[in-house]
Amino acid sequence: MPSKKKRSRFSLLRDYKPAQWRESFLFITDKLLKIKIACIILWDFYDDECKKCPYFIKKLSNEYNMYNQNYIESMICERELFLHLRKIGYPKRLARKRSFYRETEDDYEKDY
């Protein structure tokens, strides 16, 4: 019998239940950062199936439109966005892409 292939943390995110998503947001204290991450999660996992998206993620992502986009982008630290996406389970390459964060040489010594 073939063994089951181990799934990556990112692929496991696709199966998250609303309670698991809510728990992953507990460590994020900045409101604008929560909104931005909710939008990224909505775009990555629920874009075509918005009906299945947890209510609190929809609610947070809808708040994005209440702010001036330039204001949100100027108030969010791309490094913080990168680190929080990594904590949630995003792979390093995708977290960098979603956050526009550019690593420095010091970052290569750290494992996020």
Cα separation values, 21 from 37, 39, 89, 97, 104, Å: 11, 13, 11, 21, 30
pLDDT reported for residue 111: 52
The token pair at 1 is 């019998």
Tally of domains in the chain: 1
**Closest by alpha carbon to 41, among 24, 19, 66?**
24
59 within a domain of the structure (yes/no): yes
Name which residue leads in pLDDT, 67 or 50: 67
pLDDT reported for residue 109: 47
Mean pLDDT of 48-73: 86
Is the pLDDT at 57 greater than 60? The verdict is yes
3 within a domain of the structure (yes/no): no
pLDDT reported for residue 66: 92
As a whole number of angstroms, the distance between CA 23 and CA 7 comes to 21
Provide the whole-model pTM: 0.81
As a whole number of angstroms, the distance between CA 87 and CA 75 comes to 20
Tell me if 58 sits within 8 A of 50, measured CB to CB. yes
Give residue 100's domain range: 9-109
pLDDT reported for residue 49: 62
